[in-house]
Amino acid sequence: MTWTVDVNSDLGEDFGIYKIGQDEDVITYISSANIACGYHAGDHNVMHHTVKLAVENNVGIGAHPGFQDLQGFGRRVMDVTPEDVYNMVVYQTSALQGFAALYGQDLQHVKPHGALYNMAAKDRSVADAVARAVLDASKGFGKVPGSGPVLYALAGSQLVKSGHYVGVKVVEEVFVDRTYEPDGTLTPRSKPGSVIKDINHGVIQAVRMVKDGLVTATDGTDISIQADTICVHGDGPHALQFVRELRKTFAELGINVQKPGGN
């Protein structure tokens, strides 16, 4: 039996003179990049540089829209209306598409960031707003009529359902460096053990999710999970080691890595 999965990472999170992550190294091990759009991280210079880096490495270009919260890195919950969510996703996605177009590219995907991602995983009004924004913002993007970016969503979440409901193509996402609650959501970062720091542990979890469709939750129970794409957080101190070991292990086990759709 053969398995195929996309490997993505959150990149472009530098800001001005401040450097976060190891983008130039990490990008050589991934197939898709989620690029910050200036709200939670990144700026116009960083966005352009990271898009160019993705094109040079044949890596899928994805928008990573989040809350306008540089100080909190987009990981603080905000009181927002569906209209706020819709407009902020359209705005950020369209900004990154502008840079992609400079290289004759269209966005491959859109993946909400941080608190917005977690809220969309549970709250239908937020999820619907994100999904509609991805659908509507992409109307003028595609070189092929009707084409547009796919939506990356937490596996099994409300955002997956909302994406299907509005007619957006959905790619279900799992994480190599995060733990899971029994309901399939990510363990809140406020809880101890929410972030996996042991590389071997994370890689073993990733392999099991891809091959067996299972992950062990924090209460010790196994839950079913769909792994279309697997994320390594680019801002983590061990991001490079994670992606390097992940690709090495996948190669040894015959797990193919490619962008969604195989392009």
Once rounded to an integer, what is the mean pLDDT over residues 208-236? 93
Task: State which residues form the domain around 220.
Answer: 3-262
Q: How confident is the model at residue 7 (pLDDT cuts 50, 70, 90)?
A: very high
Q: Is the pLDDT of residue 124 over 80?
A: yes
Instruction: Tell me the pLDDT tens digit for each residue of 51-95.
Output: 999 999 999 999 999 999 999 998 999 999 999 999 999 999 999
Output helix, strand, coil percentages for the chain, rounded to the nearest 5: 40, 20, 40
DSSP 165-223: HHT--EEEEEESSB-B-TTSSBPPTTSTT-B---HHHHHHHHHHHHHHSEEE-TTS-EE
Tally of helices (H runs) and strands (E runs) in the chain: 8, 10
Instruction: Tell me the pLDDT tens digit for each residue of 125-142.
Output: 999 999 999 999 988 676
Task: Return the percentage of the chain with pLDDT > 70, whole number.
Answer: 96
For residue 261, the model assigns a pLDDT of 74
Do 65 and 107 meet the contact criterion of CB atoms below 8 Å apart? no
Q: How far apart are CA 124 and CA 121, in angstroms?
A: 8
State the DSSP code for 260. Answer: G
- Residue 233 makes CB contacts below 8 A (sequence gap 6+) with 9, 10, 175, 177, 178, 239
CATH of the domain at 240: 3.20.20.370
Q: How confident is the model at residue 262 (pLDDT cuts 50, 70, 90)?
A: low
For residue 142, the model assigns a pLDDT of 60
Mean of all residue pLDDT scores within the chain: 93
Q: How confident is the model at residue 143 (pLDDT cuts 50, 70, 90)?
A: low
Q: How confident is the model at residue 31 (pLDDT cuts 50, 70, 90)?
A: very high
For residue 233, the model assigns a pLDDT of 84
Do 35 and 54 meet the contact criterion of CB atoms below 8 Å apart? yes
Helix (H, G, I), strand (E, B) or coil at 161: helix
Once rounded to an integer, what is the mean pLDDT over residues 182-199? 91
How many structural domains is the chain composed of?
1
Q: How far apart are CA 64 and CA 79, in angstroms?
A: 20
Give the number of other Cβ atoms within 10 Å of residue 70's Cβ.
Answer: 16
Q: How far apart are CA 166 and CA 44, in angstroms?
A: 30
Q: How far apart are CA 149 and CA 34, in angstroms?
A: 12
Q: Is the pLDDT of residue 263 over 70?
A: no
For residue 237, the model assigns a pLDDT of 74
Q: How far apart are CA 122 and CA 257, in angstroms?
A: 29
For residue 64, the model assigns a pLDDT of 98
